[in-house]
Amino acid sequence: MVFPYAALFAFTALFSLIAFVLVVAFARESHHAQEARAGLRSLAETFRDLRFVAFVGLSLLVLVAGGQLVSTLSVFVVARLGYSEAAFGGLLTLNGLLVAALQYPIARWAERRPRLLGLVAGAFLYGAGYLLFGWMRAYAALMGAIVVVTFGEMLFAPTTLSVVADLAPPTRRGRYMGAFGLAESFGWSAGPFLGGVLLDALPHSPAAMWGIITSLAFAAALGFLIWGRKKRTP
């Protein structure tokens, strides 16, 4: 059975609403005395924290790579490799099922490990997964590549939020989260733009195209190692 695209948006809205209700009902956070100053200026002040800025910059490289998952990858799989839209939907379904089944236990596992491990391993797996798309053609191999990308996603995403919370002063945690969220949105937006440029520039060189995207994630993994050695994360 093939569902229309409208059903996809309807289910997305429904589950987003369910997530909202669960967060409101069960999520709890420690409260600290608020500072008198607030607003855009105070948000901009978070970027005076150079260690935080370096972390955001490295994270952006990974987020730009991660942003290829939907738009760039869909064009590549359907238009370049010749698979159907339903086949690409199968890859996204596999991604979603893995996240639904494993994100929580992986996040709990990562919580007990050094933050640096989650950052480096997540960035590396992101890059390795996308690199595979440049060389693989069989559908089973593409499924294997999406599994690697998904494990990178499941490691990197929760670890970044934990690191932001660690870096932020207790009274400015929300401000740091907001600043990182702003940067995260930029990364996910810039990713498809870069992917589109590379699709047009390298139509017959998938290995080179995905290699460039992979290099961003690998560079971030190396950068995190250097960043972590200067002042080790918890």
pLDDT tens, position by position, 63-82 = 999 999 988 999 999 999 99
Least Cα distance to 150 among 180, 130, 170, 165 occurs for 130
Average pLDDT of the residues in 122-130 = 97
pLDDT in tens, 169-181: 988 888 899 889 9
- 225 has pLDDT over 80: yes
Asked if residue 154 lies in contact with residue 138, where contact means CB atoms within 8 angstroms, the answer is: no
pLDDT in tens, 21-70: 998 888 776 655 555 555 666 667 788 899 999 999 999 999 999 999 98
Q: Which CATH number is associated with domain 41-228?
A: 1.20.1250.20
pTM for the model stands at 0.86
**In this predicted structure, what is the pLDDT of residue 27?**
77
Tokens of 196: 């589109």
Q: Greater confidence, 94 or 23?
A: 94
137 three-state secondary structure: coil
- Rounded to the nearest 5 degrees, what angle is found at the Cα of 109, between the Cα atoms of 103 and 111? 100
Average pLDDT of the residues in 138-163 = 97
Domain regions of the chain by residue span: 41-228
Tokens of 19: 């997530």
**In this predicted structure, what is the pLDDT of residue 125?**
98
pLDDT above 70 as % of the chain: 91
**In this predicted structure, what is the pLDDT of residue 32?**
53
pLDDT class of 92 with cuts at 50, 70, 90: very high
Tokens 């401000």 belong to residue: 175
Asked if residue 112 lies in contact with residue 159, where contact means CB atoms within 8 angstroms, the answer is: no
pLDDT class of 209 with cuts at 50, 70, 90: very high
Q: Which amino acid is at 189?
A: S
Asked whether the CA dihedral 103, 136, 224, 41 is positive or negative, the reply is negative
